[in-house]
Chains A and B, each alone.
Chain A
Amino acid sequence: MKALKLLAATAALAVVSTAASAATLDDVKKKGFIQCGVTTGLAGFAAPDDKGVWKGFDVDFCRAMSAAIFGDPMKVKFTPTTGKTRFTALASGEIDVLARNTTWTMSRDTDLGFEFVGVNYYDGQGFMIRKSLGVKSATELNGASVCIQTGTTTELNLADYFRTNKMSFTPVVVEDSAEARQNYDKGACDVYTTDRSGLAAQRSVLSEPDAHMVLPEIISKEPLGPLVRHGDNKWGDLARWTLNVLISAEEMGVTQANADSMKTANNPEIKRMLGTEGDLGAMLGLGKDWGYNIIKAVGNYSEVYERNIGPKTPVNLARGVNALWNKGGILYSAPLR
C-alpha cells in the first residue's frame, strides 16, 4: 500500500510539479488553506485530540503559518506522513510544508531538493530500554534487538554507532511510531531508538512509562526543523520568518496574553514585529499584522513548547539546549528589521 502511495506520488510528480514550482503562496491563498505534512501521530508533536483536532508542537508551527497568511490558525489541512512517504509528499506538491521532526542533513538539503527553514528543536538520538534489564549504558547493548523506524537518519546513526563500538545488533524495522511501540511493548525488541524527544513522547503513552528508561548516551546531532521545496524562495522566507517570529517573541517577552498591550510598547523591534511600525509583512507578501496574528494564535516559542512537550505535559521534556541563547540554550533568531 505504501508502494502504491509512492508510485502515485511519483506519477503525481509528473503532473503536479508545474504547479508545485510556481508561487506556493499564491496557490495557498487561492485554495484558502495550507497543506501541512505531519507525523502519523506522535504524542506532543502532532496527534489529533479526542475531537479530531490536530494538536502538537509541529502542528502549531503550521498553525502559525496559517495565522500569518490568513489571520486564522485553523486554515490548515494536515496530511499524516510516515518517515518514508514524507519527502515524496513534499516533492510532489501534495503538501506545502513539512513539519514532522525531520532532521536537517546535507543530502536532504541538496540532493533531495528541499530547503530547511531553520531548527525548531535541537535533538539527538537516544535509546529507551526496560529498567528490569539492568542496562545502564548504550555500550552494553551488544547483541540486542533494536526497534527502529524505517526511512530515518536514526537507521544510519544506529549502524554507525554499533560499528564504532564493535557491537552487533538485530534491527526490527517498522513503518511508523505506533507499530514501533507495539513491537517494543510486546518484547520483539529490547531497545527502542529514535530522537530523544520521540522517545519521551513514546514513553508517555506506553502501558507502564515508569518501567522504561532512556539511556544517557546521545549518539547523534538531530536538528529538527520544518522544510519546504527548493525553488520557491518566497515561500521558504515566509516559513523561516514565521519560525523567527516565534523565537523573537520569546526573546522580547511578547506572549499571547500581552500581544495587544505590547503593540504600543516603547520598543521599535516589538513594534516592527507586531506591525505598528514599518511594514515587514509586505516584504513577505503578507499584511502588516502577520507577526501579531502568529503570536495571538499560538503564542511565542516558549508557550508553544510548554503547552505541548514541556515539563508539565505527559511528554515532559526540559528545555535543555532548546532554551534561548541568553538563557543557556542555543535558540537564536535573526533580527526582525
Chain B
Amino acid sequence: MTIETVDTQPKPNLLNDPKVRAVIAQIVVVVLFVSFVSYIVSNTAVNLEKLGIKAGFEFLGLQAGFMPTSPNFNLTGFDVSKDTHLDVFYLGLVNTILVSVLGIIAATIVGFFFGVLRLSSNPLLRFVAAAYIEGTRNIPLLLQILVWYFAVLLALPGVKQSINIGDMFFLNLRYLVIPAPIFEDGFGYVVTAIIVGIVATVFMVRWARKRQEKTGEQFPVVLAGLGLIIGLPVVTLFAVGVPLSWDIPALKGFNFQGGVQVISQLTALFLALTFYTGAFIAENVRAGILAVSHGQTEASYALGLRPNRTMSLIVIPQALRVIIPPVTSQYLNLAKNSSLAIAIGYPELVNVFMGISLNQTGKAIEIIGMTMGVYLTISLLISMFMNWYNKRVALVER
C-alpha cells in the first residue's frame, strides 16, 4: 500500500506573512510621516500668508545696522557701516565655535585631571575631586554661568582701577586685555620654521617607533620633538632679528585701547562650560579607568614597568575605548550649551542672530531654521570626528 503524501498545509494568508506585514507597516508609517510634515508645512505657509508675513531669505542681504559685538572683540571684522545680517550670522557662528572649541579642550583637561584624582590613594585629594564633581554636576548650568558672570567677574575692580600685571596685562570687570603681537616683515621665516619643526617631528616619531620595534632601543622623542617645534622657531626668530613687536594696551578715555580684549562674558561662559562639562568627563574617565581589570596593572608591574609607564602604556589606551563614546556626548552637550550665553550677552549665534537679527527682521522661521541647522551640523561633525577617533583606539580583535 502506498500512502499518498498530500500537502495538507494551507497556503498562509498574505496578511499573516511577517515579511508582508513589515512592509505594509513601513509604508503606513512613511505615508503618515510625509502627510504630517506636509500638513505642518502647508499650514504654516497658509497662516503666514494670512498674517501677511512673507517667507524668504532676502533679509540676509539687508544691512544689519546694529553693532553686535565690541570693536575690540571682533573676530570677523564686523563693520557696522555696511555689513548684513549674513555677516551677523557669520560672527555668531565664529563666536559659538570659539567658545565650544576652547571649552572642549579645557573640559577634557579638567575632566582627565579630576577623573584620575578621584582614584588617587590620597584620601584628601580624593575628597577634593569628589566634592568638585558632585558639586558642579548637580547645579544647573545656567545658574553657574550667572554666578561666574555676576558674582565673580563683575565683582572685579572697574576699568580705572584695573588690576595691572607688569604694565602689560590688565584685568577688570569688563575684560582681560593682553598685548597683541604685531608681525613685521620676515616673520614668515618663523612660521616656516614652525611648520618644518612639526613635519620633522612627525617623521622622527615614526622613525623612532620603527627603530624601537626593530631594536628595542628608545629615543628621547619628547625632548627632540620640543627642540624641533619650539627650539627651531626660536633660533630662527633671533636669526632674522626678531621681526615682532607688541601692541601694549593703554587706558584711554572710558576703556583700554590696543591689545586683545578677552571679554568677561567669554571668560564666564568658558569657565562655566569647562567646569560643568569637566565634572561629567571626570566621571567618564573614572569609569573608563576602573573598567580596565586590575590584572593588567599587576601584569605590567610584574614586567617591571614603572607606575607612570603602566598608566600611559597599559591602562589609558584600554580605558580610552570605554571613555570615548560617553565623552563624545559631553562634547555635543558643551557645544549646544554654549547657547546659554544669551543670559549674559556673549555674542554667539543664538544671541546675535536668533536674538537681534530675528527681532529686527521678524523672520522667525528662516532664522530659527538656520540656527537649528548650524547646531545640527556642529554636532554631527563632532560625532563624526569622535567616531573616527573611537575606531582608531578601539581594540583590534584578532
CB A104 to nearest CB in B, in angstroms, measures 15
Query: Among the interface residues A9, A20, A84, A171, which one has the most CB atoms of the partner chain B within 10 A?
Result: A171
Interface string of B312-352 (1 = CB under 8 A from A): 00000000000000000000000000010011010100111
Instruction: Report B-chain residues with C-beta under 8 Å of the C-beta of A159.
Output: 65-67, 80
Instruction: Report A-chain residues with C-beta under 8 Å of the C-beta of B257.
Output: 143
Assembly CA distance A186 to B347 (angstroms): 20
Which stretch of A10-18, A193-201, A236-244, A256-264 is in the interface?
A10-18
The answer, yes or no, to whether B359 is at the interface (CB within 8 Å) is: yes
B80 contacts A163, C-beta separation under 8 Å: yes
Interface string of B349-369 (1 = CB under 8 A from A): 011101110111010110010
The answer, yes or no, to whether B296 is at the interface (CB within 8 Å) is: no
CB B146 to nearest CB in A, in angstroms, measures 10
Decide: A10 near B364, CB < 8 A? Known: A3-B350, A163-B81, A171-B70: yes
25 cross-chain CB contacts under 8 A: A3-B354, A9-B364, A13-B44, A13-B47, A14-B40, A133-B254, A143-B254, A144-B255, A145-B254, A155-B356, A156-B65, A158-B66, A158-B67, A159-B65, A159-B66, A159-B80, A162-B67, A168-B71, A170-B255, A171-B67, A171-B69, A188-B154, A188-B174, A188-B264, A230-B51
Assembly CA distance A150 to B342 (angstroms): 10
Other-chain contact of A2, B52, B355, B360 (Cβ < 8 Å) = B355
Question: What is the chain A residue whose CB lies nearest that of B345?
Answer: A173
Instruction: Report A-chain residues with C-beta under 8 Å of the C-beta of B356.
Output: 150-151, 155, 173
B154 contacts A2, C-beta separation under 8 Å: no
Assembly CA distance A196 to B53 (angstroms): 32
CB B63 to nearest CB in A, in angstroms, measures 10
CB B145 to nearest CB in A, in angstroms, measures 12
B255 contacts A143, C-beta separation under 8 Å: yes
CB A180 to nearest CB in B, in angstroms, measures 10
Query: Among the interface residues A144, A156, A231, which one has the most CB atoms of the partner chain B within 10 A?
Result: A156
Size class of the B contact interface (CB-based, 8 Å):
35 or more
The answer, yes or no, to whether B269 is at the interface (CB within 8 Å) is: no
A145 contacts B362, C-beta separation under 8 Å: no
The answer, yes or no, to whether A182 is at the interface (CB within 8 Å) is: yes
Instruction: Report B-chain residues with C-beta under 8 Å of the C-beta of A133.
Output: 254
B51 contacts A150, C-beta separation under 8 Å: no
What is the interface of chain B, defined by CB distance below 8 A to chain A? 40, 43-44, 47-48, 50-53, 65-72, 80-81, 150, 154, 158-159, 173-174, 252-255, 257, 264, 339, 342-343, 345, 347, 350-352, 354-356, 358-360, 362, 364-365, 368, 371
Task: Give the 7 A-B CB pairs with smallest separation, nearest first.
Answer: A151-B359, A170-B70, A17-B47, A144-B254, A155-B66, A113-B52, A143-B253
Other-chain contact of B355, A84, A163, A169, A172 (Cβ < 8 Å) = A84
CB A214 to nearest CB in B, in angstroms, measures 18
The answer, yes or no, to whether A282 is at the interface (CB within 8 Å) is: no
B343 contacts A169, C-beta separation under 8 Å: no
A172 contacts B345, C-beta separation under 8 Å: yes
Other-chain contact of A175, B53, B70, B342 (Cβ < 8 Å) = B342
Question: What is the chain B residue whose CB lies nearest that of A170?
Answer: B70
A84 contacts B359, C-beta separation under 8 Å: yes
Assembly CA distance A163 to B71 (angstroms): 13
Given contacts A113-B51, A170-B72, A173-B352, 20 further A-B pairs with CB under 8 A are A3-B350, A6-B354, A9-B364, A18-B47, A84-B355, A84-B359, A113-B52, A143-B253, A143-B255, A143-B257, A145-B174, A151-B356, A151-B359, A160-B65, A171-B70, A172-B345, A173-B356, A182-B150, A188-B174, A230-B52
A188 contacts B173, C-beta separation under 8 Å: yes
B355 contacts A151, C-beta separation under 8 Å: yes
Assembly CA distance A162 to B81 (angstroms): 11
B253 contacts A142, C-beta separation under 8 Å: yes
B364 contacts A187, C-beta separation under 8 Å: no
Question: What is the chain B residue whose CB lies nearest that of A155?
Answer: B66
Other-chain contact of B360, A20, A156, A174, A182 (Cβ < 8 Å) = A156
CB A89 to nearest CB in B, in angstroms, measures 12
The answer, yes or no, to whether A225 is at the interface (CB within 8 Å) is: no
Within 8 A of B (CB), among A114-145: 133, 141-145
Instruction: Report B-chain residues with C-beta under 8 Å of the C-beta of A151.
Output: 355-356, 359-360
Instruction: Report B-chain residues with C-beta under 8 Å of the C-beta of A229.
Output: 51
Query: Among the interface residues A88, A150, A183, which one has the most CB atoms of the partner chain B within 10 A?
Result: A150
The answer, yes or no, to whether A87 is at the interface (CB within 8 Å) is: yes
Instruction: Report A-chain residues with C-beta under 8 Å of the C-beta of B65.
Output: 156, 159-160
Assembly CA distance A169 to B255 (angstroms): 10
Assembly CA distance A173 to B357 (angstroms): 13
A88 contacts B254, C-beta separation under 8 Å: no
The answer, yes or no, to whether A252 is at the interface (CB within 8 Å) is: no
Assembly CA distance A183 to B146 (angstroms): 12
B71 contacts A170, C-beta separation under 8 Å: yes
B67 contacts A169, C-beta separation under 8 Å: yes
The answer, yes or no, to whether A91 is at the interface (CB within 8 Å) is: yes
Assembly CA distance A150 to B357 (angstroms): 10
The answer, yes or no, to whether A210 is at the interface (CB within 8 Å) is: no
